[in-house]
A and B are shown apart, each in its own frame.
Chain A
Amino acid sequence: MFLTGLIFLPIVFAAVVLLLPQSKVRVGSLLMAIVHFVYSLCLFQMFDKTTAALQLVEKHEWISFFGINYFVGIDGISFWLVLMTTFFAPIVILGSWHSIEKKEKTFHFALFLLQTFMLGTFLSIDSIMFYIFFEASLLPMYLMIGVWGGTRRIYAAMKFFIYTMAGSLLMLVAILALIFMTAEQLGAPSASMIDFYKLQIPFVAGEVLNPQTLMFLAFFIAFAIKVPMFPVHTWLPDAHVEAPTPGSVILAAIMLKMGTYGFMRFVIPLFPEATNYYGWFVMLLGVVGIVYGALVAMVQPDIKKLVAYSSVSHMGYVVLGLFALNIYGTTGALYQMLNHGVSTGALFLLVGIIYERTHTREIKSYGGLAAAMPIYTILFLIVTMSSIAVPGTNGFVGEFYILMGGFLKNKALGSIAALGVILGAAYMLWMVKKVFFGPEGEYVKGAKEGTYNEALKDVSLRETIVLAPLIILIFWMGIFPNHFLSWSQSSLDHLVKTQLDYELPIAQKAEQE
């Protein structure tokens, strides 16, 4: 029952939000989000990290005709993603305390709905349920961007929605085909991933028109759009720029991970031969994403767009690691998914803080911020270090593993990726220099001359509390990665070692049903 409760509790919270009086909405939802997070911490008690099997499983019949069931479970791969989802909710609510001015109830309602859908995506073992949650999560995010976003928000929201949906419709076709395959090969139709893993999907190397390659392509395109990978990443900069700060944070921290999670759950274990055969191409696309993202980030005048492109770049690393198909790459990829959430989430929060004060994101209107807002500068620098992967921060651990894995698999791509690290440092540090150091821009001048007096206050207590957990995580994850990785290690080992013949057993512990 635990996982069902975890997934659907936010819906209850969403209903409660509608009933709260307007003045108490923010406090109420913050408290509920914290409760939800603490509830999810029970996972540490209940999860057995020594096994790669699926735990805390719940299965109920739903559409038995098709073999579609309500089937949830958790393993090492989804463990941290779930925790990250519940972790970010209170942070986002606290971070958006003042920035959401109209229709607050609706906003928090959408937020909690989004929580349910995201948790459902990570915890579903039935593929149709996964698809439903995957698609449904687009709706609240679409609303958030469209209602509370910037000037071109409607365009950005539509682009985001339709782009992602088109890809996932392809995935739906593949899922349906897989269900029919289970009916043929296993006797009864089933939509659960566990049964999919048992399928023998024919593969012919070199041809496109065989079942495995086609399905690989379908799933790959769907998740590639979500990650986002070059060249289907174009929705991301628009979506991020126009989204309100809380929307950006959740989009970057959690929703992008659905794509790479999909790779780990579907593409790699279900289509091992195709992955091995086409893996080098995916890695190439990943590297292109790294370099492209970095280069474009360097010429952005808008801070948020710069961070958006840095997301593309970072996710390129994750893809590189995943498709290296060795334990280093996979571990690094999972770790980097978490890192990216923390550091990019923090970056968006930081940008939001400054935006709230000045209502501009243009780099050239800033300059010399360090003198006016010293604490903010320190926080920003720490997060920058994490993003660049300076040793001591979480980013380093992830990227190191990935580069090792990538290099082992393909020396050329690995080297280019390593050079990409330099590019990453380049654009971030350049941005930091322009914004915080260097000649004073209009805002700082204005503050000094007294015209913009109110604008550049240093970070308030609330903002510090929002950023503090993230900063702590940056160092904790950087210095003691094993505290985090140990929980996922057995699942990751299992994935890499048995990739060609992947099966996911259900843990034999007595369930509560």
Chain B
Amino acid sequence: MELGIYLQDISLTIPLMVLFVLSLLPVTVKIFSGNVEQKPLFTFLQAAFAVILTGVLIVLRNTTEVVYAFNNTIVFSPYIKLTTIILVLSTLFTLFLGYRSPSIPKNQYSEHVFLLLSALLGMLVLNYSNDLLITFIGIELLSLPLYVLVGLSGNSVVPKEASFKYFVLGSFASAFLLFGIAFIFGATQTTEITKILSASDQVDKNLLTIGIMAFLVGMFFKVALVPFHSWLPDVYQGSPTPMTAFMATTVKLVIFVFLLGFVDVIRLMDMNVALYTLQWVAILTMFLGNMVALKQSSLKRMLAYSSISHSGYLFVGLISAVLGTGEFSYQGILFYLLTYMFTIMGLFALMCVYEKKEGEDLNLDTLKGLAKDHPWLALAMSIFLLSLAGIPPTGGFFAKVFLFSSAIQVEQYWLVIWGMMSSAIAVYYYLKPVVYMYMKDKESSEIFVKNESVSTLSIVYLSVIMVLVLGVFSQPFLTRILKTLI
């Protein structure tokens, strides 16, 4: 086996290197100017430039086939290209949300940007990985900055507690991941994913199943599937709103995208034992997420629990991908992730708009009568909530349709029925804010204070448009996704 650095290796990882170097820029400038922050606009532009440049470099790379690098530990394919672009977009949106957000301290903006870009770097590494070790590195590179980002918010104690909780449970999950990798290595003598797939015949099935199961448990923690979900509500509620948006969209996205690519390995498990467990996880997640959300009056917490239930739906799609052969489940999950990203991003952007000072929690009561004062924003919020509930003609409806059809295709009828039932329950809490906005009247005569930040508002409107577009014109997206899967 030749060890050396080839052109291929460098050309594939140029975007990563560029991102790394550029992410250091704001912090370096800050250090050299004696710990004085640059104007936030400059920092923001530098960061945005870094992200966009990375994205452009990735897009520019022409691929029609799967390419390996660094001795088969990194892989790049049209599918990975597509998913990476979505991740880059999502991070860009988070940058927009974080710019001049009241919940991110002004004197730590450079650090915030650096950590965000590092998290993006971790996601890219995770996405590119073809070797479990690189996967682990990617996950850690993603999670460590995120732990800090959650806590980076001025003087309030709550985010720091959330950060600590996230750290403890996240590291716990990483340890499980590692445990899984160790056992997979023990069973198949390799950590390279392609080699694992081909060596699957002569291995000790039990060892392999334990390993994959432990690995999946680690992953379940990261996307908060039941029974590993307990960190999510507290962390989502405690962190600054742009970071919640980032976690809810991008992190979930990258983990599911990775799992989707990992499906071939998951199939190696002993299905008689494992399938039952997976199904129960899905059902419990969908139900628990929706049931507990019913009682929440804090909007952020409600969205946290709803996020859990959406992980459940996505997991149903993942199970279909495991059981089936079709590109259809892939399309379903990716389309769902895309729609979900826009919906949640828009929703959290709206919450950023109404955040007057850091740590202030949007409550259902504060929403009363919003429709009268800010009709368009109220409409936007309603559209996002309807999309989350899966009510036509928003994108969320079609996403659910595609996802559940892929489950029907592999005859998981019970999963689908439970999914539909929990969707019906969920409608109640998704509609509650609509009720408060439109049907109740304001109590005080205070005018709603709107954070006039252009960047945040633009994200709101962009997301609304995308949610509706995805609903009416889903075909082009589906075709695009399909093209990358061949």
Contact = CB atoms under 8 A, between A and B. Distances in A.
Does chain A touch chain B in the assembled complex, meaning CB atoms less than 8 Å apart?
Answer: yes
A43 to B, nearest CB: 25
Contacts of B479: 65
Interface string A151-166: 0011001100110011
A161 B392 contact: no
A383 interface: no
A166 B408 contact: no
Given A146-B435, A146-B439, A169-B421, A161 B478 contact: no
A52 B254 CA distance: 53
Interface string A161-177: 11001100110110011
Given A169-B423, A180-B408, A161 B431 contact: yes
A162 B427 contact: yes
B294 to A, nearest CB: 11
B156 interface: no
B401 interface: yes
B148 interface: no
Interface in B374-403: 386, 391-393, 397-398, 401-402
Given A63-B474, A65-B478, A135-B392, A173 B404 contact: yes
B-side binding surface: helix, strand, loop or mixed? helix
B427 A161 contact: yes
Given A143-B438, A154-B439, A176-B401, A166 B421 contact: yes
Given A131-B392, A132-B397, A158-B428, A180 B439 contact: no
A214 to B, nearest CB: 9
A158 B420 contact: no
A176 B406 CA distance: 10
Contacts of B398: 63
Contacts of B478: 63, 65
A277 interface: no
A151 to B, nearest CB: 12
A162 B392 contact: no
Nearest to A153: B439
A415 interface: no
B189 interface: no
For chain B, the bracket of interface size reads 20 to 34
Contacts of A173: 404, 408, 413, 416-417, 420
B409 interface: yes
A438 to B, nearest CB: 39
Contacts of A170: 417, 420
A176 B392 contact: no
Contacts of A136: 391-393
B372 to A, nearest CB: 8
A62 B482 CA distance: 16
Contacts of B397: 132, 135
B475 interface: yes
A62 B475 contact: yes
Nearest to B407: A176
Contacts of A66: 402, 405
A249 interface: no
Nearest to B420: A169
B31 to A, nearest CB: 53
Contacts of B423: 169
A132 B393 contact: yes
**From A62, A128, A165, residue with most partner B Cβ within 10 Å:** A165
B399 to A, nearest CB: 12
B424 interface: yes
Contacts of A65: 331, 475, 478-479, 482
Contacts of B402: 66
A179 B405 contact: yes
B362 to A, nearest CB: 20
A138 B401 CA distance: 18
A64 interface: yes
A25 interface: no
A147 interface: yes
23 contacts: A61-B475, A62-B475, A63-B398, A64-B475, A65-B475, A128-B401, A132-B392, A132-B397, A136-B392, A136-B393, A138-B391, A146-B438, A146-B439, A157-B435, A161-B427, A162-B427, A162-B428, A165-B427, A166-B421, A173-B408, A176-B404, A176-B416, A177-B408
Interface of B: 331, 386, 391-393, 397-398, 401-402, 404-405, 408-409, 413, 416-417, 420-421, 423-424, 427-428, 431, 435, 438-439, 474-475, 478-479, 482
Q: Which 3 A-B pairs have the closest CB atoms?
A: A132-B392, A166-B424, A169-B420
Given A133-B392, A165-B427, 13 more contacts: A63-B398, A63-B474, A65-B478, A132-B392, A154-B435, A158-B428, A162-B428, A165-B391, A166-B424, A169-B424, A172-B401, A173-B404, A180-B405
